[in-house]
Amino acid sequence: MQLRQPRPLRPLISLVPLIDVMLILLVFFMVTSTFLDLDMFPTVGGNDLQTSRSEATDQVNLTPVLLRLNSNGRVTTQGRSYDVNELGEILALRLSEVPATEILLLPSPAASLQSLIDVMDRVTQVGAQNLRVIRLEARQ
């Protein structure tokens, strides 16, 4: 005679389908996410500016130059910070090698309008014809 009732067996919850679903979600979000890595733009380094004219046109061939305008009015490109006059000298050298170079200007939200205009004036004074001002949209 049994006085105790047998316990019902609890169903086992397998974690394998959960791991599969998580892996699929991970891949989905990695593929559909956007990145704000501004180094994805091909830019011109300091060594590229010092190469000869024929090598520069062969290697660079219309590679855009990315300029970041900081809040203090200085311009950063390839990790180096320049004031407006130094920037003009570097761009004049670059434009003498490849006149159709595209200049991408990314101002900081904290940069003053006057410093943005100063940089734009300097870029046009050295002969740049392809200048774009890039504005990043704020995430909400």
CA dihedral 71, 73, 77, 83 (to 10 degrees): -160
- Return the domain boundaries, the chain: 38-133
Confidence of residue 48 (pLDDT cuts 50, 70, 90): very low
Environment class of residue 42 by beta-carbon count within 10 Å: exposed (0-12), middle (13-18) or buried (19+)? Answer: exposed
CB 76 within 8 A of CB 70: yes
Is the pTM here over 0.75, yes or no? no
pLDDT in tens, 65-118: 888 888 888 898 888 888 888 888 888 888 888 888 888 888 888 888 898 899
pLDDT in tens, 118-129: 989 988 888 888
Q: Which class in CATH covers the domain with range 38-133?
A: alpha beta
Confidence of residue 134 (pLDDT cuts 50, 70, 90): confident
